[in-house]
Amino acid sequence: MMDRNGESYVGLFETESRRGKVIVYRLFSVTLFAGILSIWAYRFSNLFIIHGGAGGQQQEHDGGGANKSYWVLWVVLFGAELWFGFYWILTQALRWNPVFRHPFNNRLSLRYGHSLPTVDVFVCTADPEIEPPMMVMNTVLSVMAYDYPSEKLSVYLSDDAASEITFYALLEASSFAKHWLPFCKRFNVEPRSPSAYFNSLSSFSTSSNDSVWTKELAHIKKMYQDMERRIEDATKSGKVPRDVRSKHKAFSQWDSFSSRRDHDTMLQILFHSKDAENSKDVEGSVMPTLVYLAREKRPQYPHHFKAGAMNSLIRVSSTISNGKIIMNVDCDMYSNNSESVRDALCFFMDEEKGHEIAYVQFPQYFLGITKNDLYGSDLRVISELEFHGADGCGGPLYIGSGCFHRREVLCGKKFSDQRKVVDWNSEDDGLFMEEEASLQKLEQESKALASCTYEHNTTWGTELGLVYGCAVEDVITGLSIQSKGWKSVYCNPKRKAFLGVAPNTLGQTLVQHKRWSEGQLQIAVSKYSPALYGYGKLSLGLQMACSTYNLWAPNCLATLCFSLLPSLCLLKGIPLFPKMSSPWFVPFAYVIVAETTYSLFEFLICGGTLKGWWNEQRMWLYKRTSSYFFAFMDTTLKLLGFSSDSGFIVTSKVAEEEVSQRYKEEVMEFGASSPMFTLLATLAMLNLFCFLGALMEALISEGGFVRVLEKMMLQIILCGVLVLINVPIYQGLFFRKDKGRLPTSVATKSTIFALSACVIFKALHLT
């Protein structure tokens, strides 16, 4: 690239696309598409044959009759196959042109070493019981310790539970930080979450010859453990130690606290340049600004969950530090890479392309996932492949945690292509930054911005800040930004930027995916819908890419259809697919084999294991037939005006000893009964009955086993695979004694439902 003076310009980041591999993939996907077209052609052409010749033309379906209900079955199946084919086409956008970004943060330091922008980091927490304060503090400490000038870094903790314990923990953490930050910088520690760092050391021997380090390490570790004990004691007893409480007048804010949903704003600035004396570490260097915020909540005002918390943070921070860049992490997602801020800035500050970029999303990776990832929590293919694909189409979705934003864009700025030189270092300070204003005054003024009524008659939640009313506030906000013309970037460096906690029971995973798929479907029918209104605002590729996620939920219909009808028809001896000797068998076989092999291949190159892939297939099945089904029903009911907004069920980040033990052994955790489990178990039982029933009939039938096999191979395989993949459910229903098994009530219900369905279907007059 050349700049205006004709000198070659070296960018702050590079974009790599893998041409060769992409071409091979495209060729493959064309053959698969041909297969899909043939399947459609088969279904379509036979539609008329079946309809036309009553009992006559049955070359393909010697078992099937030609009456109306059979025809309906055929149409339903055609619908499902059309859907799957259509959905597959959408997913191609994510594979057609993946790009990989490489930031050069050494160039950034050389060029902008002394004129880096101010950065505000928001950490959100909502419930000290399922998001332990100690975990939250590790996240806070990890982001305070970023390799970034402290005077330009501010950290805000938003506490939606307004918990005194969390505030107490932050006080403790702030004193510890005065030791921890210099320690990190002196020894270039990585990662900078103390707990993660100490854990990483236990796998090495600490008998290093660097005696200074060893000594300091022992010292800091002791301090950490003392702090941990104090915080954990307070968490367990639910009380802040009396002496601490009387020493810090900030606690008086809790005198008026009545409940989580009903309290004043509590705001405390723990470190700030206006309080220079107190805001230095043990070596005398400045600390990053540190703020605790629990926005006001009243029962009569909706609080909009995380989106509401984020918007309060955006306003409050605008007066305290007004960082040009805003980054948000969930309270469990500690920073695992102290260079992430600099990495992200390489994109924003690139002189050629930076001005187009609204946000930089890092992937969400998780800690402690077992080797074969029983619940598919890694979302491996999405992180390693699909988001690179979305980036190639114009930019990844905004997925909440681990995303850097330009403040002005979050505050509604439209994109204009006029490239102007941004003064990243301008002192564009907040509203109340006059020198003489005291810290107390600043606190008071900021508090007002977090009140319940502040947003009345404003465009917060629509034009300003994060968008309200959607279960995935992040994704919808990202789309609203992209539809204003901005681009985004996906940055996936080798050293993972963030590590979080994934749900580790089946129930929680399904609930989380219900929230996600419901939110995604809300987007599909909202005014930000990429499919409906994206035309002209987003590239076609991005419209398709986003739609694959938006349309997660409707997948339930086709999947339910495919896990019910072929199996029931197998039981009844009705073939729904071409027999083995038919030429039409070929496209079916090709599509099944090619797509399965490819999906396995993709999973393996993304770093998964064979068993992990199998587990993930199971999870897709379970999500589609439960989470997505419930999300689909809820959204439909809501659209029809039958129910109101759904909440935000926060995912638990803790587990009982026994539960985590089972997780480690990769034994599926059911435990309590739930409608989702009943549905899954019913489907599993139904397939088992159909498979066994068909097997028995085949054995006693005249033509024998081979004839049935030849006639209904695909149905047998489908039903057989469904039985195999459901093994953990059968175990949970009948063979396990531990607490994580499926409750007896689920076993009874599912058996009755499945059996009745089989009996009724068998009695139906279809042929």
Q: Which residues bind ligand UPG (CB under 6 A)?
A: 124-126, 131, 158, 160, 305-306, 309, 330-331, 400-401, 471-472, 474, 512, 515-516, 519, 648, 650-651
* In the complex, minimum distance from the CB of residue 131 to Mn ion, in angstroms, rounded to a whole number: 9
Question: What, of ligand UPG, Mn ion, none, does residue 650 touch, CB below 5 to 8 Å by kind?
Answer: ligand UPG
List of residues 6+ apart from 671 with CB closer than 8 A: 505, 507, 659, 739, 740, 741, 743
Residue recorded with tokens 């399965």: 596
Residue whose structure tokens are 């921890």: 180
Residues 390 and 490 sit within 8 Å (Cβ to Cβ): yes
Convert residues 314-343 into a mask of x (bound to Mn ion by CB under 5 A) and - (unbound).
----------------x-------------
Q: How far apart are CA 164 and CA 268, in angstroms?
A: 12
For 678, phi then psi, to 5°, come to -60, -40
Which among ligand UPG, Mn ion, none contacts residue 125 (Cβ within 5 to 8 A by kind)? ligand UPG
- Give the separation between CA 582 and CA 585, rounded to whole angstroms: 5
Applying CB under 5 A, which part among 176-184, 579-587, 651-659, 744-752 lies near Mn ion? 651-659
327 vs 560, beta carbon nearer ligand UPG: 327
- Which residue minimizes CB distance to ligand UPG? 400
Question: Tokens at residue 168, please?
Answer: 């107490």
Element (H, E) at 729: helix 727-730
Least Å from the CB of residue 538 to ligand UPG: 21
At closest approach, how far in Å is the CB of 307 from ligand UPG?
A: 8
Residue number, 520 or 543, with CB nearest to ligand UPG: 520
> What one-character-per-residue DSSP string does 111-124 give?
HHTT-PPPEEEEEE
305 makes contact, choosing from ligand UPG, Mn ion, none, with CB < 5 to 8 Å by partner type, with ligand UPG
Question: Across-strand partners of 280?
Answer: 286
CB of 334 vs ligand UPG, minimal distance in Å: 12
**Angle, in degrees to the nearest 10, between helices 540-550 and 473-482:** 170
DSSP state, residue 274: G
CB of 687 to ligand UPG, least distance (A): 30
- To ligand UPG, the closest distance from the beta carbon of 451 in angstroms equals 17
Q: Look at the alpha carbons of 67, 73, 74, 79 in this order and tell me if their dihedral is positive or negative.
A: positive
Residues with Cβ within 8 Å of 199's Cβ and at least 6 positions away in sequence, in order, are none
* DSSP letter for each residue of 293-345: EE--B-TTS---HHHHHHHHHHHHHHHHT--SEEEEEETT-EES-TTHHHHHH
Distance CA 82, CA 47 (A): 14
Q: How far is the CB of 400 from Mn ion (least distance, A)?
A: 8
226 tagged catalytic? no
φ, ψ of residue 403 to 5 degrees: the values are -125, 130
Provide the 8-state DSSP code for 489: E
Q: Which is nearer to ligand UPG, 81 or 159 (CB)?
A: 159
Q: Which is nearer to Mn ion, 365 or 691 (CB)?
A: 365
Annotated catalytic residue: which of 264, 350, 474, 634? 474
Of 136 and 685, CB closest to ligand UPG: 136
Cα-to-chain-centroid distance, residue 147: 26
**Dist. CA 262–CA 265, nearest whole Å:** 10
CA distance to 81, 443, 449, 691, per residue, from 274 (Å): 65, 11, 20, 73
Are 344 and 406 contacting, i.e. CB atoms less than 8 angstroms apart?
Answer: no
Annotated binding residues for UDP-alpha-D-glucose, written as ranges, equal 131, 160
- Is 373 among the catalytic positions? no
Feature table: binding site: 131, 160, 306, 330
Nearer Cβ to ligand UPG (124/240): 124
- Choosing from 159, 160, 332, 391, which is the catalytic residue? 160
Number of residues that bind Mn ion (CB under 5 A): 2
In the bound state with Mn ion, the residue whose beta carbon lies nearer, of 379 and 659, is 379
Q: Which of 294, 304, 310 is nearest to 262 (CA)?
A: 294
Between CA 504 and CA 741 the distance in angstroms is 15
Positions marked catalytic: 160, 474
Residues that bind Mn ion (CB under 5 A): 330, 651
